[in-house]
Chain A
Amino acid sequence: MSLLAVSNLTKRYRRGDNTIAAVDDVSFHIEPGETLALAGPSGSGKSTIARVVLRLIEPDDGRIEFEGDDFLALRSAALRARRARLQMVFQDPLAAFNPRATVARVLDDPLRIHGIASRSERPRRIAALLERVGLTADLAPRAIHEISGGQRQRVAIARAIATKPSLIVLDEAVSALDVSVRGEILELLLDLQRQEKIAYLFISHDLGVIRSIAHRVILLDAGRVAENGDARTVIDAPQSAIGKALVAAAPRLNRTLMRLASAGLD
């Protein structure tokens, strides 16, 4: 049984008189402990799929089965309780937290809401979570805007794993980070996956990162699945037009950056 099975998912937006299908009849599944990447150009429906899977927006059509249950049928309290098992890390770690929050409060919320630890136990849990993602416990009283981008994304990951989820949706989770920090965060994600058997729905436009972290990849084009298969096979030899375009664009960009760097314009 798949951990997450999405079938015939459709989400349309109405713009004036015509409707645009942001997601059009998309089906996929994720196995426990697996990383599935969603890739595609801007506007291909990657983030819409992520938000529908998380029930942040409701689909027009389709079915989502999570841990064997009809996820779309869950309502209010039952849905909130089940959210513990399905977490998310956002692209911009600064926007993903209440600007007034401290690190401790950010991590305290999921522990309190899902009754994971008693009030007296929570500071210890928070310290353990911070250490689990490679931070020190003395960061807890700091305000979110006082810590660095990389630290913030680690806190976001700590919050996501606080409720012991089986699936984490990573929506461009490393795209806003600089290259060295990106590598460290990817290491952390791989390590968490190995130890806790967490599955990832990894949304990214960076095929290099996808190739290094994902098991399987789905290439999207205008809300439809263009290509689907083993991450390395697809990226090394894309069959679809959009796949070829994405792969062709990636090294060209790298070459440009390298030329800029060697010219001292980095």
Chain B
Amino acid sequence: MSALRRFLRTPEAVAGAILLAALIAMALSASLLFPGDPQAIAGPALLPSFQDWSLPLGTDRLGRDVLAELFHGARTSLAVGIAAAAAALVVGAVVGTLAGFAGGLVDEVLMRITDAFQTVPSFLLALAFVSVVGPSLGIVVIAIALGTWTGPARVARAEVLSIRERDYVAGARVIGMHPLAIAFREVLPNALPPVLAMSSVIVAAAILTEAALSFLGLGDPNRVTWGGMIAEGRAVLRTAPFLSIVPGIALVLTVLGVYLAGEGLVETTAVRRGLS
């Protein structure tokens, strides 16, 4: 539990954790506080913020409750961000570990595939994938993961290359451990810290990519997303700027929170690594 104490001693980490906790609270309470369809009309169109306390943040062009949309949008952002980052990290770590540990032809093939994915800009890849397969939440997650797993794969491979020469890996071979068990039980966990260090950046990037896809109208049409809200507000940017500003601020705070909390987590694991 000393890791938790160290985490709490870093002010940026605490700020990040609070932002992240607020976001998670928003996402979890969305259907409790705003049980109806957030895309249903709730009042007059383009009601400014802080005018009517039943609609604190006002309404958009179609008279939808902005606060309800914001809460439901937190859900999408968080779900997509975390799911895409988790998929990218898992695939990246596994591919990188296999490539680094097996070496030879396996390494060569896996790394050339990684190269191929890396040469295509990840946003373009996501855009193309969603345009072809069609927008739904799962597809958006896969599309984002498709462009981001290469980073973790490279970092994991580099780390594994140095770890596999260590004595304890030789020790695991001497006691007769299966190579796959060595790769995933002995090597991978020790290669993870620098890979996980990327997770905050990846989650933040995934949330932004999701917002960008929604902004371009390639998000899941049945869900409220912050990117979609910004796109919606763009048409009335001069008369009702809050429609773009409110989800924009939410997006900034979310990315900042994820980033700060991730950095704090890296700091604490870095200290643990220094010990070992």
Chain B residues contacting A87 (CB-CB under 8 Å) are 174-175
Q: Does B172 contact A (CB under 8 A)?
A: yes
Give the interface size class of chain A. Answer: 20 to 34
Contact B276 A90 (CB under 8 A): no
Query: Is A98 touching B168 in the complex (CB atoms < 8 A)?
Result: yes
Q: How many residues of B contact A (CB 8 A)?
A: 17
The answer to whether the Cβ of B177 comes within 8 Å of any Cβ in the partner chain is yes
Within 8 A of A (CB), among B157-207: 166-168, 170-178, 186, 189-190
Q: Are A83 and B166 in contact (CB under 8 A)?
A: no
Interface residues of A (CB under 8 A from B): 51, 54, 56, 80-81, 83-84, 86-88, 90, 92, 95-100, 109-110, 113-114, 145, 159, 163
Which residue of A54, A92, A100, A145 contacts B174 across the interface (Cβ within 8 Å)? Answer: A54
Instruction: Find out whether the CB atom of A95 lies under 8 angstroms from the CB atom of B276.
Output: no
Given the known interface contacts A80-B176, A83-B174, the answer about A98 and B167 at a Cβ–Cβ threshold of 8 Å is no
Which of A56, A83, A95, A145 contacts B175, CB < 8 Å? A83
Q: In whole Å, how far is A125's beta carbon from the nearest beta carbon of chain B?
A: 14
Query: Shortest Cβ distance from B182 into chain A, in angstroms?
Result: 10
Residue B120, interface by CB 8 Å: no
**Contact check: which of B171, B177, B189 meets A90 at CB < 8 Å?**
B171
Q: Is A100 within 8 A of B189, CB to CB?
A: yes
Which residues of the other chain, B, contact A99 by a CB distance below 8 angstroms? Answer: 168, 190, 276
Asked whether, in the complex, the Cβ of B168 is within 8 Å of the Cβ of A95, the reply is yes
In contact, A109 and B174 (Cβ under 8 angstroms): no
Q: Which residue, of B168, B173, B176, B177, has the highest number of chain A Cβ atoms within 10 A?
A: B176
A-B contact pairs, 7 of them (CB 8 A): A56-B173, A56-B174, A87-B174, A99-B276, A100-B190, A110-B176, A159-B171
A81 surroundings in chain B (CB, below 8 A): 176
Option from A54, A97, A114 in Cβ contact (under 8 Å) with B168:
A97
Interface assignment of B275: CB less than 8 Å from any CB of chain A: yes
Q: Are B276 and A88 in contact (CB under 8 A)?
A: no
Contact of B176 with A145 in the complex, beta carbons under 8 Å: no
Q: Is the CB of A113 within 8 A of B276?
A: no
Complex Cα gap A163–B190 (Å): 26
Neighbouring A residues of B174 by C-beta, 8 Å: 54, 56, 83, 86-88
Question: Which B residues from 185 to 236 make CB contacts under 8 A with A?
Answer: 186, 189-190
Chain B residues lying within 8 Å of A163, measured Cβ to Cβ, are: 175-176
Once the chains bind, are B168 and A145 in contact (CB under 8 Å)? Answer: no
12 further interface pairs, Cβ-Cβ under 8 Å (given A87-B175, A113-B177): A54-B170, A56-B170, A81-B176, A83-B174, A90-B167, A96-B167, A96-B171, A98-B189, A100-B190, A110-B176, A113-B178, A159-B175
B273 closest partner in A (C-beta):
A99
B177 touches A109 (CB 8 A): yes
Q: With A100-B276, A145-B275 given, is the CB distance from A95 to B166 under 8 Å?
A: yes
Least distance between A153 CB and chain B CB atoms (Å): 13
Q: Which residues of B contact A90 (CB under 8 A)?
A: 167, 170-171
Q: Select A109's contact among B166, B167, B175, beta carbons within 8 Å.
A: B175
- What residue of chain A has the Cβ atom nearest to residue B166's Cβ? A95
Q: Using Cβ atoms and an 8 Å threshold, which residues of chain B touch A84?
A: 176
Q: List chain A residues, Cβ under 8 A from B168.
A: 95-99
CA distance A88 to B275 in the complex (A): 26
Closest 5 CB pairs of A and B: A99-B276, A83-B176, A80-B176, A95-B167, A110-B175
Residues of B within 8 A of A86 (CB): 174
Q: A56-B170, A90-B167 are in contact. Are A98 and B190 (CB under 8 A)?
A: yes
On chain B, the residues within 8 Å of A113 by CB distance are 175-178
Nearest-Cβ distance from residue B236 to partner chain A, whole angstroms: 55
A98 pairs with B175, CB closer than 8 A: no
Give A81 to B186 CA distance when docked, in angstroms.
Answer: 19
Question: What's the nearest-Cβ distance from chain B to residue A52, in Å?
Answer: 12
